[in-house]
Amino acid sequence: MITLPLSALVSPPSLTAINASNRVCNALALLQCVASHNETRALFLQAHLPLFLYPFLNTTSKTRPFEYLRLTSLGVIGALVKQNDNSEVINFLLSTEIIPLCLRIMETGSELSKTVAIFIVQKILLDEMGLAYICQTYERFYAVGTVLSNMVNQLVETQAVRLLKHVVRCYLRLSDNLRAREALRACLPEPLRDTTFSQVLQGRKAKKFAEIQP
């Protein structure tokens, strides 16, 4: 399997050749097909194959080969959580380091990587078990809330609407938890309190954010 030997070589400058990155990404594209298929998804989890992707997600180099690897690896995890009946997937992911990995990418990755990473976090939050897990301790809630807040401040400059919509959905889902809603009243970023993002915060979303206001 191509992924295994290269996972030990994910520190610069070991992985600098674009063709090496492309070979791994081609293998990861096949894994994405396995992860998204109803008949193979459970076996994919039983084999703990997502764990072999984490070394790629854990890299911090911003060079194109590494960014391509991170994005393709995120795509495999995204394919897992995208399915409607994903409770087994969420349960598995919560037992791993996927949330801290996604949070770091949400802060430091490219716009596309940030979008896929926050999509994964959003899907975890949409699951009752995932929401309860993140809101169970102050440390977990603070970690997620801090990254979301930093993203909001970045989005004031970039105005990346698609990314902003995911951030808004994460905040709204967090507000479904009573303890989290109380905490958000104190730490909701100012751009979500005023009219900075009025083009996104309309209708039901605007009403829900108004309920979070102190």
> Which CATH number fits the domain that encloses residue 61?
1.25.10.10
Same domain, 113 and 200: no
The predicted structure's pLDDT at residue 85: 79
Same domain, 2 and 92: yes
Same domain, 117 and 190: no
Question: How many structural domains are present in the chain?
Answer: 2
The residue ranking higher by pLDDT, 144 or 14, is 144
Last residue of a domain, one of 117, 133, 149: 133
Segments forming the whole domain that contains residue 196 = 137-214
Same domain, 77 and 162: no
The predicted structure's pLDDT at residue 1: 47
Same domain, 145 and 85: no
CA pair distance 116, 112, nearest whole angstrom: 6
The predicted structure's pLDDT at residue 12: 52
Nearest Cα to 98, choosing from 28, 49, 32, 51? Answer: 51
Asked which of 98-102, 116-120, 196-200 is least confident by mean pLDDT, the reply is 196-200
Same domain, 43 and 120: yes
Q: Return mean pLDDT, the chain.
A: 88
Q: How many of the other CB atoms lie within 10 Å of CB of 129?
A: 12
Last residue of a domain, one of 133, 148, 174: 133
Same domain, 23 and 122: yes
Q: What is the pTM of this model?
A: 0.89
Same domain, 129 and 156: no
Last residue of a domain, one of 80, 110, 133: 133
The residue ranking higher by pLDDT, 23 or 207, is 23
Same domain, 107 and 189: no
Same domain, 126 and 165: no
Same domain, 31 and 66: yes
The predicted structure's pLDDT at residue 214: 64
Residue 201, pLDDT above cutoff 70: yes
Q: What percent of the chain has pLDDT over 90?
A: 64
Same domain, 36 and 71: yes
The predicted structure's pLDDT at residue 8: 44
